[in-house]
Structure formats: C-alpha cells, structure tokens
Structure 1
Amino acid sequence: MIRYVLSSLVLVWALGFLWFTVSLPQPAGKVRTDAVIVLTGAAGRIPQGLAVLDAGLADRMLVSGVAPEVRPAEFAAEFGVSEERMDCCVSLGFAAVDTKGNASEIAAWVEQNEIASLRLVTTDWHMRRAASELDRTLPDGVPVLRDAVPSQPSLASLFLEYHKLLASWAGGLVGI
C-alpha cells in the first residue's frame, strides 16, 4: 500500500513538473487594463511594462521590489523614461524583497490608487507563483491579466521554481 501511495505521489509530481515546463505562460497581447505591474528581477520585465504604457494599454505602472538605493532619476535614465512619464505614470515600490512581499506591496498600491484591473508582468517561469500570491492578496473583484516575458530558463531554474510554486500553493491551503 505504501509503495502504491509513494509511486502515485511521484507520478503526480513528475506529471506536474512536465506540465509546468512545457506550458509556460505567454505574453498577453493587446488587452487594456487600468495599470501594469512589473516585478523586478530578470531581464525584459521593465521594458515590457514600459511598452504596455507606450502602447496605451495601461495608464499607470508600478514596479514592485525596487532596491532601496535606486532613485527615480536613476531608474528613468536607465530605462529612457521621461520626467513627465515618471511623474504621471510610473511608481517605484521599495517594500518588497520576495514574491509574497510583491503581492502585499501591489495590493496596497492597487487599493490606494483605486485600480480596477491590472496586468502582471514577470518572467514566464515565475508567472504562476507570482499570480497565485497576488490572487490571494488583492481585493476581491480585481482581475489580473498575466503578461509573461518569454525566457530560456535552465532545467535547474524550472526545478527550483516548480518547488517554490508547490510550497506557495501548500502555504495558501493552510493559510501561511
């Protein structure tokens, strides 16, 4: 009996990992939302968020998880954002140090700015966990459009992220 249960668990784990690796989330396309949320980290995230703003697909952008030493002028210079665009439309969030912290920072910003819909930008391999954490934290009724940045993750990165996703789901089930 124990072998059957263990074999079943290993099979479910392996099939889940296969699903996780072959069906990574994709870019969202041209759907309009009130705001675009960008999680710091891998390359391509901030440029994709800025492209959403430039295309008129969102009016505001929050970059969550910015290092405390980064100044808005430095951010603007690095990414070619005008002072006017920074003043009207780009907010930098300095409170988050991990994905769960991103979700808390985003939820507070969404509530403070009365955002009714948002587009989440993060890397394809990180999207499921980030969206899961955000779904648990956002006020009810705020839809989240998942806009993944395509990447070429290593097998080790996928393995680690899959286990972080499982831990996040388990934590959500027990209320952690």
Structure 2
Amino acid sequence: MISRLIALLIVLWGLGFAVFTLTLPRPAGNEQTDAIVVLTGGAGRLDRGLAMLAQHRAQRLLVSGADRTVRKKELALRTGRPEALFDCCVDLGQESVDTRTNATETAKWLLAHHYHSARLITTDWHMPRAHSDLDRALAGKGIAILPDAVRSQPGFMTLFTEYHKYLLRRIAAPFGY
C-alpha cells in the first residue's frame, strides 16, 4: 500500500514537472494596463518593461527588487533610454530581496497609486511563482494582473529548481509562509 502511494506521488511529481516545463508562460500582447512591474534578476526584463512604457502601454513602471545603490540616472545610461522617462514614470522598489517580498512591495505600490491593472514582467520560468505570490498579496483588492513573460532558454537545473520552489510556495502559502 505505501509503495503504491509513493509510486503515485512520484508519477504525479513527474507529470507536474513535465507540465511546468512544457507550459512556460509567453510574452503578452500590447494590452493596456495602468502600471508595469518588472522584477529584477533576469536578462531582458527591464528592457521589456521600458519598451512597454515607451509605447504608452501603461502610466508608470515599478522596478521591484532594485539594488539600493542603483539610481535612475544610472539605469537610463545603462539602458540607453532618456533620463526624462525615468524621472517621470519609473519608480525603484528597493525593499524586496526575493520573489515573496517582490509581491509585497508590488502590492503596496499598486494600492498606493490606486491602480486597477498591472503588467507583470519576469522571466518565463519565474512567472508561475511570481504571479502566484502577487495574486496572493493582492487577494480581494480587485487589481488585474497581466503576466508578460520574457522568453529564455532555461537549463534543466533552472527548471528543476524553480519547479520545486513553486511547489514549496504553493504548499507553504496557505500557512502564511
């Protein structure tokens, strides 16, 4: 009996991992939202967010998880975007240190600005956990989230690690972790 249960759990785990890797989120279209949120840490994320902002797909952009030493002027130089774009429309969230605190920081920012929708930009393999954490942080607040995944070529270990982080968050979240 126990060996069958263990075998079933292994099969379910394997099927879940396959679904996770084969259904990575894709980039969103050009839908309009009130805000854009970019989670730092992956190639192409900030560029995607700035491109959407420059195309007037939202009013304002939050860079969640920015290093505390980074300044808007430096980001403008590094990205080749006008400093005026950063001055008018970009906020640096420098309080978060991981995906869960990104969600908390983002929720506070969205609520403080009274936004009703946001485009969430992160890497495709990171989107399921990031979106789930943000949904939980915004539960009952009436803010629609548009997942906008940056395509990548993740290796097996990246997918394996992220799948387990996602599973652990899904298990721990109902207990307040």
| Count of residues in correspondence between the two structures | 176
- Alpha-carbon shift at residue 42 of structure 1 (Å): 1.0
- Measure the CA separation in 2 of the matches of 1:174 and 1:93: 26
- Alpha-carbon shift at residue 173 of structure 1 (Å): 2.4
- Quick check: 1:49 aligned with 2:49? yes
- Measure the CA separation in 1 of the matches of 2:111 and 2:174: 25
1:165 is aligned to 166
Aligned positions of 1:1-176 closer than 5 A? 1-138=1-138, 140-176=141-177
> Which residue identity lines up with residue 145 of structure 1 in the other structure?
L
Contact 2:32 2:57 in 1 (8 A): yes
Deviates more, 1:121-130 or 1:104-113: 104-113
- Measure the CA separation in 2 of the matches of 1:51 and 1:77: 15
Per-residue CA distance 1:123-146 (angstroms, 9 max, x = gap): 000000000000010252101000
- Measure the CA separation in 1 of the matches of 2:88 and 2:112: 15
Deviates more, 1:78-87 or 1:144-153: 78-87
Contact 2:26 2:148 in 1 (8 A): yes
- Unaligned 5+ runs, structure 1: none
Aligned-partner SS, 2:92: strand
List structure 1 segments (4+ residues) > 3 angstroms apart after TM superposition: none
- Measure the CA separation in 2 of the matches of 1:104 and 1:96: 8
- Alpha-carbon shift at residue 174 of structure 1 (Å): 2.1
- Measure the CA separation in 2 of the matches of 1:110 and 1:146: 15
- Measure the CA separation in 1 of the matches of 2:55 and 2:82: 16
- Alpha-carbon shift at residue 151 of structure 1 (Å): 0.1
- Alpha-carbon shift at residue 38 of structure 1 (Å): 0.2
Q: TM-score, normalised by structure 1?
A: 0.97
Aligned-partner SS, 2:153: coil
- Unaligned 5+ runs, structure 2: none
- Measure the CA separation in 1 of the matches of 2:159 and 2:4: 27
Q: What is the Cα-based RMSD across aligned positions, in Å?
A: 0.9
- Measure the CA separation in 1 of the matches of 2:68 and 2:55: 29
Report the identity percentage: 49
> Which residue identity lines up with residue 15 of structure 2 in the other structure?
L
- Alpha-carbon shift at residue 109 of structure 1 (Å): 0.5
> Which residue identity lines up with residue 154 of structure 2 in the other structure?
P
Aligned-partner SS, 2:126: helix
Aligned-partner SS, 1:56: coil
- Measure the CA separation in 1 of the matches of 2:42 and 2:98: 13
